[in-house]
Structure 1
Amino acid sequence: MKKYLNWAVVILGIITVMSFGQQNPEQDFVNKAVMANQYEVALAQQAGQRSSNESIKAYSRMLVDEHQQILNELRQYAEAKGWTISTDLDQTHQGQLEVLEGTEVDRYNQAFKDAAVASHENSIALYEAVNGNNAMTDETLKIWVADKLPTLKSHLSQAQQLKLDDTAPINNQVPPTIDTVRNNKM
């Protein structure tokens, strides 16, 4: 009996490894993009709660709105393809949020700015890699990705320009963004 159980475990392990290996490039991108956008939303929500800086609060509100829209579009795409995607942050992103949460109040704004810049740089690299990925065959997804890049680049630029003192932004607004999120659908 023990011998059969060992074989069953080996066979299940092989099947599991094979199923992970069969994920297509589109699904791999969508999973990574979903995780990145979930992190951006969580990061921005945390900043909205922790920071008293009006520039950061305005920027974080914009991030929540725009990344939530991107996330919704990715989820719709995945659902149409019959893919299951994570609704929770992975350990890496959750750990990054926890580190930021533990940051002292007087250092939080700089830590948030650094995290927002790094996250957007990573997202831009992920989206730009789609252009050179010949294994991806879904032209609709490629067009959608190209449409989102200006928005992500705008978010990066705004993060880099965040003022960390307590001066309020002009008209309590962040700089205008390229509104591709609301106008473009997959």
Structure 2
Amino acid sequence: MKQLLKSSLTCLMSIAALLACNNQKSTVDEGDENLIEDDATHYHEQEIAEGVTWDDDEIEVFMKSAGMIDKMQIKLGDLVKEKAELEAVGGYAEQIQRDHAHSLENLKKIAQEKGVTISGTLDAKHQAKIDSMMLIDDHFDREFLKMMVKAHKKDITMYQNAMQSISFQHPVKDWIDSNIPKLQQHQFTAQRLLDDENLFPETASDAP
């Protein structure tokens, strides 16, 4: 009789321990979920405190502007390949085209997901830049590179500002993050070519 009672007590204790373990696991799982939600809320509150204020309309304006930049660079690449005299400049234009074509393709996917329409044609402002380059005959390569240095400097500032102003939850933020290094490389390469005395000896002779 004592042995039976002892066995029953042992069994009950095992069941109680198993139930306690399951309850503890459930509590931990719920705690993990709450922790993730709390982290996301904290991150969002921190963004607001740091000045992340862009709403959907402002993000849409940025995306459309970025699309214009991509399309202008692609179209400009065609012009440069026709008019460039230096092989290095033509090669640089081809790289610009590839990078911006890839950028535009990915941007359009995000835009479609968010219900944003990326225009298929250039606006008057960006078309005017293409037209002005078409009129240049003398020192075309050098003028094109100077334009690239200036334009990419402005674009990088625009993208960095967007990076600081858009919520981490918006997919375009990852797109911006992946594009900034490419824009910086484009600017660096244009400046390096521009400073190459073998390509532009007249620039070196003008230096003090």
TM norm. shorter chain > 0.5: yes
Q: Does 1:60 align with 2:113?
A: no
Matched, 1:111 2:143: yes
Q: Quick one: structure 1 residues 74 and 46, their matched pair in 2 at CA, closer, same or farther if it must change by over 3 Å?
A: same
- In the alignment, what sits opposite 1:123? 155
Check whether the contact 1:36–1:119 (CA below 8 A) recurs between aligned residues: no
Query: What are the residue-to-residue correspondences of 1:143-182 with 2, within 5 Å?
Result: 143-163=174-194
CA distance in 1, matches of 2:175, 2:124: 28
Structure 1 residue 137 displacement after superposition: 5.8
Q: CA shift at 1:133, angstroms?
A: 1.0
C-alpha RMSD of the superposition: 2.2
The separation in 2 between residues aligned to 1:130 and 1:160, in whole angstroms, is 25
Query: Deviation at 1:165?
Result: 7.8
Q: Structure 1: which 5+ runs fail to align? A: 1-21, 169-186
* Equivalent AA in structure 2 for residue 118 of structure 1: K
Q: Which of 45, 54, 67 pairs up with 2:78?
A: 45
Distance 1:76 1:163 in 2: 35
User: Contact between 2:107 and 2:172, CA under 8 Å: does it hold in 1?
Assistant: no
Q: Taking CA–CA contacts closer than 8 Å with sequence separation of 6 or more, which of the two structures ends up with the larger relative contact order? A: 1
Change in 2 beyond 3 A, CA 1:166/1:49: farther
In 2 relative to 1, CA 49–118 (structure 1 residues): closer, same or farther, beyond 3 Å?
same
Match of 1:78 in 2: 111
Rounded Cα–Cα distance in structure 2 between residues aligned with 1:66 and 1:44: 11
Query: Secondary structure of 1:88's partner?
Result: coil
Q: Normalised by the size of structure 2, how large is the TM-score? A: 0.64
Q: Is the 8 A contact 2:148 2:187 kept in 1?
A: yes
Instruction: Provide structure 2 residue ranges, at least 5 long, that are not aligned to the other structure.
Output: 1-54, 200-208
Normalising by structure 1, we get a TM-score of 0.71
Go from structure 1 to structure 2 and tell me whether the alpha carbon gap of 1:147 and 1:50 turns closer, same or farther (over 3 Å shift): same
Q: Which residue of 2 aligns with 1:101?
A: 134
Deviations, residues 105-163 of structure 1 (Å, cap 9, x unaligned):
x32111111111122112111110113215x4644221221121111101110011115
- Counterpart of 2:115, as a letter, is G
Q: Contact 1:127–1:145 at 8 Å: present in 2 too?
A: yes
The aligned counterpart of 1:13 is none
Distance between the aligned counterparts of 1:82 and 1:158, measured in 2? 35
> Is the CA contact (8 Å cut-off) linking 1:37 and 1:67 kept in structure 2?
yes
Equivalent pairs counted in the alignment come to 145
Query: What does the per-residue CA deviation read over 1:41-79, in whole Å, with 9 as the maximum and x for residues that have no partner?
Result: 111221111112111011011111111000111111111
- Tell me which structure has the larger Cα radius of gyration: 2
Q: Are the equivalent residues in 2 in contact too, given 1:54–1:167 (CA < 8 A)?
A: no
